[in-house]
Amino acid sequence: MPVNMGTLDRVLRFVAGGVLIALAATQTIGAWGYLGLIFLGTAAVSRCPLYLPLGISTCSKPK
């Protein structure tokens, strides 16, 4: 699967995933907060499986 996430997309996913996991761990929100692991995983590998069928890419275009 090709890389389809740009830097800003990855940073936002790391932050959102970390916040969701922290809120779930402190029981501020329910266990669904552990879905933040998906955000962290996709950011770590720079690939979003949902972007592929939708034809989305947030990577900068090579010049």
Query: 56, 51, 44: which is closest to 14 by C-alpha?
Result: 44
Average pLDDT (17-28) is: 96
Per-residue pLDDT tens digits for 23-49: 999 999 999 999 999 999 999 999 999
Banded model confidence at residue 1, pLDDT cuts 50, 70, 90: confident
CB 60 within 8 A of CB 12: no
pTM of the shown model: 0.84
Q: Evaluate if residue 61 carries a pLDDT over 80.
A: no
Q: Evaluate if residue 60 carries a pLDDT over 90.
A: no
Distance spanning both ends of the chain, measured CA to CA: 22
Q: Evaluate if residue 63 carries a pLDDT over 60.
A: no
